[in-house]
């Protein structure tokens, strides 16, 4: 049975998308898992990390992005077909991998943001606004994969709620600094509130936290070290404590020399190690821990 995991953070720039895509590629190339990445973010960063611009343009022009799914819901049209929209071979490593699939996003989704509120006129989670994605992402489809990874927008709006509604777990990537971690308790409270409302739609609904992923850690930064220790102390607090944070992943992604190969489809990249360079072991260890936690 496939596991569905959302990547969430209400703050941008914390490496949420890069982490999701890296884990997807390591799961596929290093551990022979079959993975579907769903890009719910209008910024389309996960999409452009996994397919070239020409492939995206073709999908976008032919109504084969997540934008069309929401567009159909708003306009009563039926142009979206998830089977046709899923791109079956993605990544710029070895020319792509048949086991790494993508449901792409579109910047056109930005244009729908205001209109999507029409589905939720009373600002309440309801049957018209939330289960949109679940109509297409059926359990039968999920079970074709070992993992379905959802890259959510940096908010808890209707689009993100569609993602967490179909998810078994969620992870929160963070940078270990004050600005990136200050709002974690508020974010957790919002997620818990949304979970309670979603459970009214589906009594069997359950969403659990996998933990915090520390990203872009600078070894020589005193602030990063202090923030990391603070987070480690807070994970031991009771869940109802206002300073509680989810359990940290032991594997840390350190800030190293940035690789120019991350989204480059113009040159041949033969291995995952070549693509991720000095971060190869960081991401490999994180992926091993990710698999272990999601299998508990």
Each of the 296 residues of the chain gets a pLDDT tens digit; together they read 899 999 999 888 899 999 999 999 999 999 999 999 999 999 999 999 999 999 999 999 999 999 999 999 989 999 999 999 999 999 999 999 999 999 999 999 998 877 876 666 555 676 767 889 999 999 999 999 999 999 999 988 889 999 999 999 999 999 999 988 988 999 999 999 999 989 988 899 999 999 999 999 999 899 999 999 999 999 988 888 888 999 999 999 999 765 556 766 777 789 999 999 999 999 999 999 999 999 97
CATH number at residue 70: 3.40.50.300
What are the b/e assignments for 143-161, b being 16+ CB within 10 Å? eebbbbbbbbbbbbebbbb
Domain span holding position 126: 3-294
Euclidean distance between CA atoms 65 and 71, whole angstroms? 10
Q: What is the DSSP string of 252-296?
A: --B--SPPTTTT--SS-B--HHHHHGGGHHHHHHHHHHHHHHHT-
User: What are the backbone dihedrals phi and psi of residue 66, each rounded to the nearest 5 degrees, phi first?
Assistant: -65, -25
Cα–Cα dist 24/26, whole Å: 6
88 CB-side CA count, 13 A? 4
Between CA 189 and CA 107 the distance in angstroms is: 29
* End-to-end C-alpha distance for the chain, whole angstroms: 13
Q: What is the DSSP letter of 248?
A: B
Number of domains in the chain: 1
């Amino acid at each position: 049975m496939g596991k569905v995991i959302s990547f969430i953070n209400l703050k941008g720039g914390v490496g949420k998308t890069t982490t999701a895509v890296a884990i997807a590629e390591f799961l596929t190339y290093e551990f022979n898992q079959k993975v579907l990445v769903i890009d719910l973010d209008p910024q389309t960063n996960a999409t452009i990390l996994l397919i070239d611009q020409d492939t995206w343009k073709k999908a976008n022009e032919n109504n084969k992005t997540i934008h069309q799914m929401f567009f159909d819901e708003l306009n009563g049209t039926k142009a979206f077909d998830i089977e046709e929209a899923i791109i079956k071979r993605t990544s710029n490593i070895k020319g792509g991998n048949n086991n790494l699939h993508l449901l792409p996003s579109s910047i056109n989704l930005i244009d729908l943001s205001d209109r999507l509120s029409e589905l939720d006129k009373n600002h309440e989670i309801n049957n018209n606004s939330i289960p949109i994605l679940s109509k297409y992402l059926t359990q039968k489809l999920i079970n074709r994969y070992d993992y379905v990874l959802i890259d959510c927008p940096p908010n808890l709006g209707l689009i993100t709620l569609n993602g967490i509604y179909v998810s078994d777990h969620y992870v929160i990537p963070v940078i270990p600094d004050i600005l990136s971690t200050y709002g974690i308790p508020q974010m957790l409270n919002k997620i818990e509130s949304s979970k309670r409302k979603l459970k009214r739609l589906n009594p069997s609904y359950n969403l659990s936290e996998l933990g915090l992923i520390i990203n872009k850690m600078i070894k020589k930064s005193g602030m990063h070290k202090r923030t990391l220790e603070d987070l480690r102390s807070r994970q031991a607090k009771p869940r109802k404590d206002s300073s509680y944070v989810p359990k940290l992943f032991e594997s840390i992604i350190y800030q190293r020399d940035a690789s120019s190969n991350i989204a480059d489809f113009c040159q041949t990249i033969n291995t995952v190690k070549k693509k991720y360079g000095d971060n190869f072991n960081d991401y490999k260890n994180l992926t091993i821990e990710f698999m272990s936690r999601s299998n508990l």
